Chains A and B, each alone.
Chain A
């Protein structure tokens, strides 16, 4: 794993601002709904891939089915909008984050007792468990029909109503906003003393514990943070699609998320987002030509 540059060069900040401006202006320049939705999906999966990289690239923990936490977040937000309040957008997202974190706590508590391959296999086991629950619990989740009829709440950003979440441009701007916030928060966190502890665990668990770090506890914190970020991508997913089915939580989809991180490069935050962009593009573009699109990833 490489050494990271600590100092942020002004050119990098300018480049980042230009990139953000381009992304923000994108739906007003390219008005084709298909492309707006495509980039929207890239950003949502980019956020999920970035959250997986907090585990894989920074804490050194491999999760095969991080999409499970996108799924849990999405189902919770969807169910909240259907059964509790169809218009409370921010409350729904917050509920999704809290519930997903609470679910990830006992799962993580078990998982951090292992490391390496055993950890990875446990993520697969729990992922399949959640997948099966969603599949079988027909009354709550709609089973293999998926969760349908999720209402489209209005999107308020800084006091302005952009339209409801069924509007691609409004949804795109909400996604961009939340992804940027999550990116910035995560960027701060990995450069904090807490992030340094995660890196130490990635490099050498035994040594970390013998300089006085409670390795299990910090692995659990890292795990819960990654799951919480995953649930934000889940919230955006359900708002954007208005629908989620169990296949989104399948092991196959989980491998896709892992692929995004590997394509983009782990150990950086923007890498997995780029990786997700490439992956989604190939998936959408090449699957129109051949059903064996996975070959091209």
Chain B
């Protein structure tokens, strides 16, 4: 396994609040690493800093050997660093197909063509159908995405992230608000992604985390307090204390 992305002494503070405190994490290819921690541990902030949504206060984010700290999000997508959001973020007024199509288009190019019809980008259409097929959403292609059920909207966001040809994919609570059946479906799907790419999962559903993760990083108050495979984390005293308080 090679390291795709790593952070070195990453800090992020909001005024006096230290949300990410000196975090060194390495993300390996074909590995599903979950980031867990109690509420307010800085998980989402950590991801936001890596993916360019927030700027780092200090420290570095390395993509391979390349320093990508504080690069804007749209440029990171071109390197293959894609993400979903904790609160569903899709193009609500557009159809499912168009949502994925625009994501594919911005990755494959052609956005500056102004006189050809958008349907004429054949490679973009092919890839869009492929992604929809893979996620089992091809029958919903023509549905306006604001008419989708919540679970399908979460899935659509994953589809859009996949359209960016990610090398590493950050999923911020993909199962939030999903039914058990939907959760199982998406958990399987996420696990399947690690055949080709690295996946980073921020998740509160411990059943999901413990069953599909290869590695787990535990954050508490902005710092890494434990790291290792699921079995190890389950028996870690520091982790128990962070979640449950002193015994």
Q: Which residues of A contact B (CB under 8 A)?
A: 1-3, 6, 188-189, 191-197, 199-200, 202-204, 206-215, 218
- The complex places the Cα of A2 from the Cα of B72 at a distance, in Å, of 31
Q: Which of B68-101 contact A (CB under 8 A)?
A: 72-74, 77-78, 82-83, 85, 89-95, 98, 101
A214 near B74 with CB under 8 A, answer: yes
Closest to A195 in B: B118
Closest to B117 in A: A191
Q: Which residues of B contact A (CB under 8 A)?
A: 51, 53, 72-74, 77-78, 82-83, 85, 89-95, 98, 101-103, 105-107, 110-119, 121, 124, 144, 160, 163-164
Q: A210-B51, A212-B164, A213-B106 are in contact. Are A203 and B118 (CB under 8 A)?
A: no
Most buried by B among A2, A196, A199, A213: A196
A204 near B91 with CB under 8 A, answer: yes
What are 26 of the A-B contact pairs (CB < 8 Å)? A1-B93, A6-B119, A191-B118, A192-B116, A193-B110, A193-B118, A193-B121, A193-B124, A194-B114, A196-B98, A196-B102, A196-B105, A196-B111, A203-B92, A203-B93, A206-B85, A208-B91, A210-B51, A210-B74, A210-B77, A210-B83, A211-B77, A211-B103, A211-B160, A212-B106, A213-B74
Sample of 20 more A-B contacts, CB < 8 Å, known A199-B102, A204-B89, A212-B164? A3-B94, A3-B144, A193-B105, A194-B113, A199-B93, A199-B94, A203-B91, A204-B92, A206-B53, A206-B85, A206-B89, A208-B91, A210-B83, A210-B89, A211-B102, A211-B164, A212-B77, A212-B78, A212-B106, A215-B74
A192 near B118 with CB under 8 A, answer: yes
Residues of B within 8 A of A212 (CB): 74, 77-78, 103, 106-107, 164
- The complex places the Cα of A210 from the Cα of B91 at a distance, in Å, of 12
B114 near A210 with CB under 8 A, answer: no
A200 near B77 with CB under 8 A, answer: no
B102 near A197 with CB under 8 A, answer: yes
- The complex places the Cα of A214 from the Cα of B83 at a distance, in Å, of 16
Task: Tell me how far the C-beta of B22 lies from the nearest C-beta in chain A, rounded to whole angstroms.
Answer: 26
B94 near A209 with CB under 8 A, answer: no
- The complex places the Cα of A197 from the Cα of B115 at a distance, in Å, of 14
B107 near A211 with CB under 8 A, answer: yes
B116 near A193 with CB under 8 A, answer: yes
Residues of A within 8 A of B118 (CB): 191-193, 195-196
Closest to A2 in B: B93
- The complex places the Cα of A288 from the Cα of B105 at a distance, in Å, of 53
- The complex places the Cα of A202 from the Cα of B94 at a distance, in Å, of 11
- The complex places the Cα of A204 from the Cα of B103 at a distance, in Å, of 12
Closest to B115 in A: A188
Closest to B78 in A: A212
- The complex places the Cα of A197 from the Cα of B121 at a distance, in Å, of 14
Q: A3-B94, A207-B89, A207-B90 are in contact. Are A193 and B111 (CB under 8 A)?
A: yes
Residues of A within 8 A of B112 (CB): 193-194
- The complex places the Cα of A187 from the Cα of B153 at a distance, in Å, of 30
Most buried by A among B77, B102, B103, B116: B102
Residues of B within 8 A of A218 (CB): 111
- The complex places the Cα of A210 from the Cα of B119 at a distance, in Å, of 22
With beta carbons under 8 angstroms apart, the residue of A192, A196, A210 that contacts B101 is A196
Residues of B within 8 A of A1 (CB): 93
Residues of B within 8 A of A211 (CB): 77, 102-103, 106-107, 160, 163-164
B144 near A193 with CB under 8 A, answer: no
Task: Tell me how far the C-beta of B131 lies from the nearest C-beta in chain A, rounded to whole angstroms.
Answer: 12
Closest to A203 in B: B91
With beta carbons under 8 angstroms apart, the residue of B115, B124, B164 that contacts A192 is B115
Residues of A within 8 A of B72 (CB): 209, 214
Closest to A217 in B: B74
Closest to A267 in B: B93
Q: A200-B102, A206-B89 are in contact. Are A193 and B74 (CB under 8 A)?
A: no
Most buried by A among B51, B77, B93, B113: B93
Residues of B within 8 A of A200 (CB): 91, 94, 102
Task: Tell me how far the C-beta of B188 lies from the nearest C-beta in chain A, rounded to whole angstroms.
Answer: 24
Task: Tell me how far the C-beta of A136 lies from the nearest C-beta in chain B, rounded to whole angstroms.
Answer: 38
- The complex places the Cα of A197 from the Cα of B118 at a distance, in Å, of 10
Residues of A within 8 A of B98 (CB): 196
Closest to B165 in A: A212
